[in-house]
Structure 1
Amino acid sequence: MSTIFQPAPETGILSASDLTPRGTRDMTLQPKDCHKPANGGYWRAVCAGAFAVGLAAFAPTNAIACADEDQCLPRLLGASVYVPAYSQVSLYKGNRLLTAATLVVHNVDPDTPLTLSSVEYYNHSGERLKAFLDKPVTLAPLSSADYLVPVNDQAGGVGANFVLKWTSETPALPPISETVMVGGSGTQAFSFTSRGRMIAQSPASAPQ
């Protein structure tokens, strides 16, 4: 049971003069209240507020605004990234075009270097075909590294992919990892890109 304050009937607006208790009743909002003709402005405002609160319950946690926008950006100590690389594409059954696939890893952090600890290439069946790194490679802030699977390498197949691992001594923005596929037939050429997906990560701090 709660004390209620009723708005002026002619305006539906709650003013300072209305802040005198008129009685008490159960204040649980019922669906029928949203269609009350009397004091319609008041009830419409209450229902709209309840609806907004309900939507907020389904909003993703990362949608919450930060006082400092830079603090909203995720920073990690490392991650593993899966990047599709289509070394072949089909036009119709029994006919495939070969492509050259270039993996490019961009360090988008303007202040923090990253270390690529491994870059591996897998075929359509998930078998590892090649390891590109003999030793770790450091990417300076805003620098990139690229790795090519040439057009005459048919071993990967349609479902070829790269898996890369990166680390950082201090929390850093995750790099952008993507492949660029280029191919052609006769006098016609085509190209397309594929963005990587994180499959494991090392958070900057352990979850509470």
Structure 2
Amino acid sequence: MTGFNRWLLAMVLGALCALPLKAEELSKGQTIYLPIYSHIWYGDLDASGQPRKALMSALVSIRNTSLKMPVRVTSARYYSTEGRLLKEFAASPRTVPPMATLEFFVEKSESAGGSGANFIIQWEASTETNSPLVEAVHTDIQLNRTPTFLTSGRPIKSE
């Protein structure tokens, strides 16, 4: 990368970071899509044409960002890469108090989800409030390597 290209990249990144942050719209409920990776592919292809596979655990975190209002998580459905429902993690609605967090855990040994697994999380509130922050921390803690990464949920329209 040339000196000019580095300078241009720094200017563009600096301008993006300087943009003002806008508060999220208030809502009485949403459906949120959260990508999950029960495994990740890595490395070079082997003789059979397949890359290596590392199983990952995932900690799903639903954080109520409201200072005053509780939210209710009415559903947290876990789907496989093929779109097959694997498990409903919220069999009954769960109330998340203001500034509290509801967590679900996908074990490392759960490999049915695949690299394209996902959660569909539905929440509601009695009055308009801040949307919860929905993320998943994926990890595979071992002695010599520890891949760890984060995925974020995004609102989708209910069909």
| TM-score where L is the length of structure 2 | 0.78
Identity %: 27
Q: 2:38 matched to 1:87?
A: yes
Aligned match of 2:147: 190
In structure 1, C-alpha distance between the alignment counterparts of 2:148 and 2:86, rounded to whole Å:
23
Q: Please show how residues 5-154 of structure 1 align to structure 2 within 5 Å.
A: 73-92=24-43, 93=45, 94=50, 95-154=52-111
Where relative contact order (Cα < 8 A, 6+ residues apart) is larger, the structure is: 2
> Which piece of structure 1 moves more, 178-187 or 141-150?
178-187
In structure 2, C-alpha distance between the alignment counterparts of 1:81 and 1:173, rounded to whole Å:
14
Higher strand share: 2
In structure 2, C-alpha distance between the alignment counterparts of 1:104 and 1:117, rounded to whole Å:
15
Count of matched residue positions in the alignment of Structure 1 and Structure 2: 133
Which runs of 5 or more residues in structure 2 are unaligned? 1-18
RMSD of aligned Cα (Å): 1.9
Asked which structure has the greater CA Rg, the reply is 1
In structure 2, C-alpha distance between the alignment counterparts of 1:150 and 1:189, rounded to whole Å:
16
Runs of 4+ in 1 over 2 A off after TM superposition: 184-187
Could you tell me whether the CA contact under 8 Å between 1:97 and 1:184 is conserved in 2? no
- Code of the residue aligned with 1:166 in structure 2: it is W
In structure 1, C-alpha distance between the alignment counterparts of 2:137 and 2:61, rounded to whole Å:
8
